[in-house]
Amino acid sequence: MPELILGSDGETHRISFEPGPSVRDVLDTTDFRVRSGCRGLGACGLCRVRVAGGESGAPTLNERIHLSPELLSQGVRLACQILPRHDLHIEILNPAPPSNWKSTPDAALLHNARDQPREGRLLPPGIKHPCGVAVDLGTTHLCLSLFDLVNGRWLADRMGHNPQANFGADVVTRLAAAVESPGAAREMSRLVVMAIGEGLLDIATREGFDLRRIVYFTLVGNTAMLALLSGRNSGLLLQPDYWIRPVDCLPLETSAWVAAWGINPVAAVEVIAPLAGFVGSDLLAGLVAMHLAEGEAPALFIDFGTNSEIALWSGEALWVTSAAGGPAFESSGISCGAPAEAGAVFRVTLGEEGDMVCRIIGDDRAKGLCGSGLVDLIARLLETGRLTRTGKFAGGEAGFTFNAGETVLTLTKGDVDLLQRAKAAVGAGIRALCDSAGVGVGQLRRVCVGGAFGRYLDVGSAQAIGLLPALPQAVVELAGNTALAGCCDVMLSSLAAQRLERLRGSARLINLASYPGFEDAFLENLYLQPMREE
């Protein structure tokens, strides 16, 4: 893959990219954003960079309008007008201020590959160029997608952190904080409303977009996030009785949100209700996006996370469970871990001398391993006999040290243990669903993997350690943020919304903690080996 070589603060960063997007688009997925005020059309002239080496093509008409011949002769260009195909050395002349918000690397892929015209949705009269926003409110991240409602065209995506993390990384800690203190509950709701506003403002300022065009706003999320946003019934989620029962956590009043976000006052705000305490509307949306519960062939859906939500379509009925395996897939709690953002090792392959060769997201400086990098590394250690299937280092070592670029990282036995546990919870969940539905793992014809973890996952590595069923690789679909994709579907189409409601009415819930075979299935799946069929 070609690389963008970036001189910044006297340091050099190397960012690999697939040819196609502009320099601005490539930078937008990293921590090195260039200032911008239009949709990358070349209209604002703000995204100035200097090309210091490599092939950048002839300046466009827009560049000749904004940049004097003298500047052009010095190599000054507009980042949105350069479509690099090979290595390119640049320097950002007009950097954007640091921000929580960036574009998701797979946004264009996710939306351009989809054919989703608006259907069955009425537009409010008198609004020129009406638009809609779909939001996936996750425990760690908040993702937004903006669409033109007239032609169903995708306009922009943003991803930022959920600021509630200050109250706890996991949902239980946040729920407990909300139950203990009404002030904390109010603050957590306010923080998310503010963050959505900031994400929208980032789109408005960087893309030159008028937020009053937004007339639809649709949001999905896990049940805890929805309860914390609406400030309703958070306490019920701490009671196991409600995990497989519906929980009312829809907002009673949203006009203050509309005002705070500056979207059109007539905008319809819709929060999609969750299925139950442990199954959010994010899962329902994911099933809609993947068309999981359709057709006669058995299909499995896994959205990996701290609580992995798993659904099985038997061909006749839909079974759903949730497996609380801890945050290893997000690489949280892993001593050499890093979130799946710029600087994360997402791919580990074997070099010619048995050394570990690392690929890093959006930078050449490794901060640590993200979930998919962790799965890869463990698979490589198993395949070279350096790790046993019980998760011990073959020579009895306490850890494995390797180079990721210029960074030295160490994977400890404890790190391997955390991944084994997370994997075992998911494996036990799959077993419980298959047992309940009377479907063998070998009968599955689709295995759909959602979430950021799935986006970068190497299927072969995941199968080698038993994280995914050992089926032909073509059966496995890595689908990225399916919750957001499904939320877009529901926002754009009343038919998709009806499909979601049908799923809600038909899903059969399994409480994994009450599944009689849990401990045996858990133990079996702690082993680092291909998944066995019972």
Partner 1 sequence: MINSEMNKLVETLLQGDHAGALAEAKRLRAAGVAPERIVTEGMEAAMSRLDDKCTVESFNLLEIMLVGRAVSAVANELYPEGMPPEQGRATFVIATLEGDVHDLGKNITRMVLIGKGYRVVDLGKDCPVENLVNAAQREQADAVLVSGLISPVIAQVRKVRPALAERGLGGIKVVAGGAALKQSSAEALNVDYVAETAFDGARYLDELMRRRHE
Separation between Cα atoms, residue 20 and residue 155, nearest integer Å: 17
**What 3 state SS string does 183-221 have?**
HHHHHHHHHHHHHHHHHHHHHHHHHCCCHHHEEEEEEEE
Q: How do strand 307-313 and strand 318-324 relate by DSSP bridges?
A: antiparallel
Report DSSP state, residue 47: -
Contact code string over 234-263 relative to partner 1, x by CB under 8 A:
----xxx-----------------------
Beta bridge partners of 412: 399
* C-beta of residue 110 within 8 angstroms of C-beta of residue 481: yes
Q: Which is nearer to partner 1, 42 or 391 (CB)?
A: 391
CB 147, min distance to partner 1, A: 39
Separation between Cα atoms, residue 464 and residue 531, nearest integer Å: 8
Residues between 374 and 433 that touch partner 1 (CB under 8 A): 390-392, 398-399, 412-414, 416-417, 420-421
Give the count of beta carbons closer than 10 Å to the beta carbon of residue 2.
Answer: 15
Residues between 19 and 78 that touch partner 1 (CB under 8 A): none
Q: Which is nearer to partner 1, 54 or 333 (CB)?
A: 333
CB 279, min distance to partner 1, A: 17
Q: Which is nearer to partner 1, 294 or 397 (CB)?
A: 397
CB 126, min distance to partner 1, A: 51
Contact code string over 333-362 relative to partner 1, x by CB under 8 A:
--x---------------------------
CB 389, min distance to partner 1, A: 9
Selected binder of partner 1 within 100, 443, 511, 529 (CB under 8 A):
511
Positive or negative, the Cα torsion across 334, 337, 341, 345?
negative
Q: Kindly state the number of chain residues that form the binding site for partner 1, as judged by CB under 8 A.
A: 26
CB 452, min distance to partner 1, A: 25
Report DSSP state, residue 506: H
CB 310, min distance to partner 1, A: 18
Give the rounded distance of the alpha carbon of 327 from its chain centre.
Answer: 14
CB 182, min distance to partner 1, A: 18
Give the count of beta carbons closer than 10 Å to the beta carbon of residue 152.
Answer: 19
Q: Which is nearer to partner 1, 240 or 265 (CB)?
A: 240
Give me 480's structure tokens. 């990225």
3-state secondary structure of 372: helix
Give the count of beta carbons closer than 10 Å to the beta carbon of residue 6.
Answer: 24
Contact code string over 113-152 relative to partner 1, x by CB under 8 A:
----------------------------------------
3-state secondary structure of 309: strand
CB 245, min distance to partner 1, A: 15
CB 399, min distance to partner 1, A: 8
Alpha helices in 438-514 (DSSP H): 452-456, 459-464, 482-492, 494-506
* C-beta of residue 87 within 8 angstroms of C-beta of residue 7: no
Selected binder of partner 1 within 18, 123, 523, 533 (CB under 8 A):
523
Q: Which is nearer to partner 1, 365 or 413 (CB)?
A: 413
Q: Taking CB under 8 A as the rule, does residue 168 contact partner 1?
A: no
Q: Which is nearer to partner 1, 105 or 280 (CB)?
A: 280
Q: Which is nearer to partner 1, 9 or 241 (CB)?
A: 241
Give me 133's structure tokens. 């926003």
Selected binder of partner 1 within 355, 519, 533, 534 (CB under 8 A):
519
Separation between Cα atoms, residue 373 and residue 347, nearest integer Å: 5
CB 523, min distance to partner 1, A: 6
CB 459, min distance to partner 1, A: 24
Residues between 173 and 212 that touch partner 1 (CB under 8 A): 176
Burial 210-234 (b: 16+ CB within 10 A, else e): ebbbbbbbbbbbbbbbbbbbbbbbb
Q: Which is nearer to partner 1, 190 or 413 (CB)?
A: 413
**What 3 state SS string does 234-269 have?**
HHHHHCHHHCCCCCCCCCCCCHHHHHHHCCCCCCEE
CB 529, min distance to partner 1, A: 11
Stretch of 153-161, 436-444, 461-469, 515-523 contacting partner 1, by CB under 8 A: 515-523
Q: Which is nearer to partner 1, 178 or 344 (CB)?
A: 178
Q: What angle do CA 333, 525, 461 make, to 5 degrees?
A: 70
Separation between Cα atoms, residue 405 and residue 357, nearest integer Å: 8
> Quick one: CA torsion of 443, 445, 451, 452, rounded to 10 degrees?
110
* C-beta of residue 136 within 8 angstroms of C-beta of residue 197: no
Selected binder of partner 1 within 53, 498, 514, 534 (CB under 8 A):
514
Kindly list the residues in this chain that would bind partner 1 in the complex (CB under 8 A).
172, 176, 238-240, 335, 390-392, 398-399, 412-414, 416-417, 420-421, 511, 513-514, 519, 522-523, 526-527
